[in-house]
Amino acid sequence: MKKSLKVVAGLAILAAAGIYIIRRMNTRRELERVADDGYETAHDVLYPGKNIRSRKVHYGPVHPKHN
């Protein structure tokens, strides 16, 4: 593999990792802000752009399952 191709591939990997980290930090910051307001499970507040609710979102108290 040519040296220039290795450099370009390395830069692309670093850019992708940087974008991933920045998006993850922004998401975490937004979820912390929403949690501070007391809306931890409000789907319309957590995900304003989504119309379909995830089946994993649970409203109300959570009771432990007994095995």
Cα-Cα-Cα-Cα dihedral sign, residues 31, 33, 39, 44:
negative
- Per-residue confidence in pLDDT tens, the chain, 67 aa: 799 999 999 999 999 999 999 999 988 888 777 766 665 566 666 666 666 655 665 566 666 676 5
Q: Would you say how long the chain is, in residues?
A: 67
The pTM for the full model equals 0.51
Q: Which pair of structure tokens corresponds to residue 34?
A: 């929403």
Number of domains within the chain: 1
Helices (H), the chain: 3-37, 43-46
- Residue 37's domain spans which residues? 1-67
Q: Which helix (H) or strand (E) holds 48?
A: none
- CA-CA distance, 59 to 48, in Å (whole number)? 17
Tell me 61's DSSP state: -
